[in-house]
Amino acid sequence: PPDVDQLGRSTWTLLHSITGAYPASPSPTLQSETSTFIRTFAKLYPCWVCADDFQAWMRRPGNAPRVSSRDEFGRWMCDAHNAVNEKLGKERFDCARWEERWRTGWRD
Ligand code: FAD
């Protein structure tokens, strides 16, 4: 199986990039598909401890995928990533800056 850190970096790149490309006003159909995608992703993620903990985190109150707009989804993904950062003893990311990091680019 791929290295857990390398898999993680690539996967977060994909997931945050998906939120950056997500519509500002998604249709109800896309919202429901996105929610299903995230739940299925969480089952299939090929690091089994990671997948189990991520699914458990999503089941906690307030942590279900929020997909009603790009900003909601981007912030939800940032919160999800911060939960993993916290578990691993890494620094929290400031979620007010998710879009700068993953969509519009950093401004100096
Ligand atoms: P990463 O955490 O991979 O982050 C990559 C880049 O994303 C950072 O450099 C930063 O610019 C940006 N970033 C950081 N935090 C945020 C945020 N909150 N929002 C937006 N952008 C951010 N590893 C384990 O060892 N155990 C686990 O249980 C585990 N569970 C995981 C569950 C999932 C769903 C995923 C996708 C990964 C998981 N990982 C787990 C991997 C772990 O999250 C890291 O990817 C890995 O440790 C490499 O970390 P990194 O420091 O290189 O940066």
ipTM: 0.99
Query: What does pTM read for this prediction?
Result: 0.96
Q: What is the mean pLDDT of each run of 10 residues along the chain (108 residues)?
A: 89 97 98 98 96 97 97 98 98 96 79
**Pocket, ligand 1, Cβ cutoff 6 A:** 4-5, 8-9, 11-12, 16, 45, 49-50, 53-54, 78, 81-82, 84-85, 88, 90, 93, 98, 101
| Full domain range(s) for residue 23 | 4-104
CA distance 108 to 37: 35
DSSP notation for 31-44: HHHHHHHHHHHHHH
Q: Is 29 exposed, middle or buried (0-12, 13-18, 19+ CB in 10 A)?
A: exposed
* Chain centroid offset of residue 55 CA: 12
Mutate to test the pocket of ligand 1, among 3, 12, 49 (most ligand atoms within 8 A of CB): 12
Number of domains in the chain: 1
Which of 100, 60, 107 has the alpha carbon at shortest distance from 78?
A: 100
Type of residue numbered 45? Y
Q: What is the CATH number of the domain that holds 96?
A: 1.20.120.310
